[in-house]
């Protein structure tokens, strides 16, 4: 009887507790649903972490659409293109970079016939610029821009076929000196894969240093670097600005760049002197091992590589009886599959 009494009291207490909790829930209500968080702002260095630009026609919901489809060699015509948003409508609001809303870089796939022009944006969202493709062949056009709401620039690339008699040219050998229109430009410094490096380009004329370079696109020079093989577009940043009290107008122009991999790169320096913009071109060879995959330190990458090499020697089984992917080496056929 005492046992039944205790059970009855316990049941009553349980009902009271649950009822109170239910009532409290009715009064307080469920936790409010949080508003969807705004996308996290991408750090300014994100473009470097993602690798070189210009390899894709679309990135981060933006797409480069080339409108001009009939491009004969040696004929001046209006070249037109758009930047389309995720919903297919043209992007019409931009933020200036290096004093311009849009930089269009044009080069043939053998890294010749380089052009750097600045199109005009129409009310229809179409960019247009008079342009002559000097020789036939496959070209890559790069649209370098920043949306008005962006925090870093974007570079999209697309191929353009130019009709005519195509005669490819070999990539010039690496050199630290080049000449253009009576000017001699000397390249100093080197790049190491995956690390920020400093390049100094010195301009001379008739054997004398040029010390009165004129501002061009917010600096005393503008440098574009393209990787041989796939034309990856490197982001290059000038060191200092005209009028900052520290940056001299020549003869040295300093830039910072990061080469993603070893290999040959073609550099194109635009500089302005006595009212004329000239372009000096170099081939730069980058030596050294490539950096480890993003997110891994060199030590972690070396350790993972050693484990995989030992697994290969053991027939796909790493130390401890597991495959490189972490599954057991013995057992079912499914358990022996790696993750590639």
Is residue 62 over pLDDT 50? Answer: yes
Q: Are residue 190 and residue 224 in the same domain, yes or no?
A: yes
What is the reported pLDDT for 317? Answer: 62
Q: What is the average per-residue pLDDT within 308-326? A: 67
**DSSP strand pairing (62-66 vs 76-84):** antiparallel
Considering the domain boundaries, does residue 295 fall inside one? no
The total number of structural domains that make up the chain: 2
Is residue 83 over pLDDT 70? Answer: yes
Considering the domain boundaries, does residue 328 fall inside one? no
Q: Are residue 84 and residue 141 in the same domain, yes or no?
A: yes
Is residue 263 over pLDDT 70? Answer: yes
What is the reported pLDDT for 10? Answer: 37
CATH number at residue 143: 2.60.40.1930
Per-residue pLDDT tens digits for 159-215: 999 999 999 999 999 999 999 999 999 999 999 999 999 999 999 999 999 999 999
What is the reported pLDDT for 22? Answer: 40
Residue 68 exposed, middle or buried by CB count within 10 Å (0-12, 13-18, 19+): middle
Considering the domain boundaries, does residue 327 fall inside one? no
Considering the domain boundaries, does residue 309 fall inside one? no
pTM: 0.77
Instruction: Identify the weakest region by mean pLDDT among 50-59, 153-162, 211-220, 259-268.
Output: 50-59
Considering the domain boundaries, does residue 28 fall inside one? no
Give residue 183's Cα distance to chain centre.
Answer: 32
Is residue 50 over pLDDT 90? Answer: no
Considering the domain boundaries, does residue 17 fall inside one? no
Is residue 12 over pLDDT 70? Answer: no
Domain residue limits at 81: 46-162
Q: Are residue 197 and residue 154 in the same domain, yes or no?
A: no
Q: Are residue 200 and residue 151 in the same domain, yes or no?
A: no
Torsion (CA) 238, 242, 244, 247 in degrees, nearest 10: 60
Could you tell me the pLDDT band of residue 320, with boundaries at 50, 70 and 90?
A: low
- Domain-ending residue, one of 246, 269, 286: 286
What is the reported pLDDT for 21? Answer: 39
- pLDDT > 70: percent of the chain: 78
**DSSP strand pairing (263-273 vs 276-286):** antiparallel
CATH number at residue 209: 2.60.40.10
Instruction: Identify the weakest region by mean pLDDT among 110-124, 181-195, 249-263, 311-325.
Output: 311-325
């Amino acid at each position: 009887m005492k046992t039944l009494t205790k059970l009855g009291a316990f049941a009553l207490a349980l009902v009271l507790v649950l009822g109170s909790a239910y009532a409290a829930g009715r009064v307080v209500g469920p936790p409010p649903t949080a508003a969807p968080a705004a996308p996290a702002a991408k750090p300014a260095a994100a473009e470097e972490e993602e690798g070189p630009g210009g390899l894709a026609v679309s990135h981060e919901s933006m797409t480069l659409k080339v409108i001009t489809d009939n491009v004969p060699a040696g004929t001046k015509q209006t070249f037109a293109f758009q930047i389309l948003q995720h919903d297919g409508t043209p992007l019409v609001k931009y933020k200036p970079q290096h004093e311009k809303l849009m930089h269009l870089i044009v080069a043939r796939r053998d890294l010749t016939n380089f052009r750097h022009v600045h199109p005009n944006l129409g009310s229809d969202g179409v960019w247009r610029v008079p342009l002559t493709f000097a020789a036939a062949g496959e070209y890559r056009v790069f649209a370098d821009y920043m949306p008005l709401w962006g925090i870093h620039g974007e570079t999209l690339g697309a191929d353009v076929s130019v009709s005519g008699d195509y005669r490819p040219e070999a990539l010039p050998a690496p050199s630290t000196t080049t000449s253009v229109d009576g000017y001699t430009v000397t390249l100093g410094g080197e790049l190491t894969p995956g690390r920020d490096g400093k390049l100094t380009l010195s301009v001379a004329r008739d054997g004398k240093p040029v010390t009165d370079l004129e501002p061009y696109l917010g600096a005393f020079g503008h440098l574009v670097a393209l990787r041989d093989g796939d034309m990856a577009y490197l982001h290059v940043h000038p060191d200092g600005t005209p009028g900052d009290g520290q940056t001299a107008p020549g003869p040295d122009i300093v830039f910072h760049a990061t080469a993603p991999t070893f290999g040959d790169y073609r550099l194109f320096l635009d500089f302005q002197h006595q009212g004329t913009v000239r372009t000096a071109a170099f081939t730069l060879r980058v030596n050294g091992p490539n950096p480890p995959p993003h997110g891994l330190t060199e030590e972690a990458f070396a350790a993972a590589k050693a484990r995989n090499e030992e697994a290969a020697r053991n027939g796909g089984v790493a130390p401890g009886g597991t495959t490189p992917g972490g599954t057991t080496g013995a057992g079912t056929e499914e358990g022996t599959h790696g993750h590639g």
